[in-house]
């Protein structure tokens, strides 16, 4: 007869593992001898060996007891089911690895790839880091609050807008003006260039109706609370809105927290 330590050593597990299998009901606990020790026999070595073999093969412990008692066909069917579950888990892990491979910078967290690529381009172009972070976080918020709308927007705009060097240059220039005074001549020039770019986009029928895109007042309040407006950005927004009305370019987002998206 074997002690728990001897049983564990023969099968190649720890005594803690043996006790764990006892607690799950997979391995019956033998009665104690006159000295107060539990004694294990040959049948315990066999059963523990089978438990360890199934667990080592990836069979969930909740199914180990079932398979230990199964007949030949039921055992084969059960193993096939476990194999299918393992294959599904491998596919899931492969997808996770692919996603993880894209997370090579904080700018890629919680953003679609096309937006993350654009924000990295804007950052490399020399826009101030603090304001790039703010710009990035405003898009994270928009994506969280309006997932379906942002997805539709990106499906339509990803090639014509977010890969457009002219558009990305407008974003860089906007961020560079964050701490400029409202009367900085670059503000008026940026507004004019933005309107010219928007007019070209409308000719290609790619300008979104932002009033419909961002229409949830509660979500907009959350976005507005995250964004900041500087004197230069306020002035830029005023000029762009006025220019849109003059050119008939359509409405921009009411109370949109990000002037670069008007």
Start-to-end Cα distance in the chain: 81
Percent of the chain predicted with pLDDT > 90: 65
**Hey, how many other C-beta atoms are within 10 angstroms of the C-beta on 115?**
21
Q: What pLDDT is attached to residue 259?
A: 42
Longest CA–CA span in the chain (Å) reads 100
Tell me 261's DSSP state.
G
Q: What is the structure's pLDDT at 32?
A: 85
Question: What was the pLDDT predicted at 212?
Answer: 59
Residue count (the chain) = 262
Q: Quick one: pLDDT at residue 71?
A: 93
Instruction: Give SS3 for 208.
Output: coil
Write down the pLDDT at residue 141. Answer: 94
Local structure of residue 257 (DSSP, 8 states): S
Kindly state the average pLDDT of the residues 96-113.
84
- Domains, the chain: 4-101 (1.10.1660.10), 106-261 (no CATH)
Alpha-carbon distance of 174 to 259, in angstroms, equals 9
What φ, ψ does residue 108 adopt, rounded to 5°?
Answer: -95, 0
pTM for the complete prediction? Answer: 0.64
Integer Cα distance of 246 and 199 in angstroms: 12
Name the percent of the chain lying above pLDDT 70.
Answer: 89
Provide the pLDDT confidence category of residue 250 given band limits of 50, 70 and 90: low
Rounded distance between C-alpha atoms, residue 174 and residue 172, angstroms: 5
**Would you state the pLDDT for residue 206?**
41
- The predicted pLDDT at position 192 comes to 97
pLDDT the model gives residue 211? 56
**Mean pLDDT calculated for residue range 171-193:** 97
- H/E stretch holding 242 reads helix 231-247
Among residues 250, 261, 252, 257, which one has the least CA distance to residue 219? 257
Residues whose CB falls within 8 Å of the CB of residue 207, separated by 6 or more in sequence, listed in order: 198, 201, 249, 250
Of 43-52, 130-139, 141-150, the least confident: 141-150
Which DSSP string corresponds to 67-120?
HHT--HHHHHHHHHHHHHHHHHHHHHHHHHHHHHHH-SSGGGTTS-HHHHHHHH
Residues 229 and 182 sit within 8 Å (Cβ to Cβ): no
Q: Is the pLDDT of residue 262 over 70?
A: no
């Amino acid at each position: 007869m074997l002690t728990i330590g001897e049983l564990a050593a023969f099968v190649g597990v720890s005594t803690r593992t043996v006790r764990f299998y006892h607690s799950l009901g997979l391995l019956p606990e033998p009665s104690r001898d006159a000295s107060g020790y539990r004694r294990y026999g040959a049948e315990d070595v066999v059963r523990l060996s089978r438990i360890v073999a199934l667990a080592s093969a990836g069979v969930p412990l909740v199914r180990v007891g079932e398979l230990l008692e199964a007949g030949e066909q039921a055992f084969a069917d059960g193993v096939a089911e476990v194999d299918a579950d393992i294959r599904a888990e491998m596919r899931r892990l492969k997808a996770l690895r692919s996603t993880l491979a894209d997370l090579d910078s904080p700018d890629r967290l919680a953003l679609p790839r096309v937006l993350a690529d654009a924000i990295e381009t804007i950052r490399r172009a020399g826009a101030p880091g603090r304001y790039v972070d703010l710009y990035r976080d405003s898009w994270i918020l928009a994506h969280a609050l309006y997932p379906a709308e942002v997805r539709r927007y990106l499906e339509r705009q990803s090639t014509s807008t977010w890969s457009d060097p002219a558009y990305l240059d407008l974003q860089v220039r906007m961020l560079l003006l964050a701490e400029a005074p409202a009367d900085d001549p670059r503000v008026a020039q940026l507004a004019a260039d933005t309107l010219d770019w928007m007019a070209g986009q409308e000719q290609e029928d790619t300008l979104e109706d932002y009033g419909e895109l961002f229409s949830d007042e509660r979500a907009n309040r959350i976005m507005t609370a995250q964004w900041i407006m500087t004197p230069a950005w306020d002035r830029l927004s005023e000029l762009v809105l006025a220019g849109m009305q003059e050119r008939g370019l359509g409405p921009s987002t009411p109370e949109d927290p990000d002037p670069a998206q008007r």
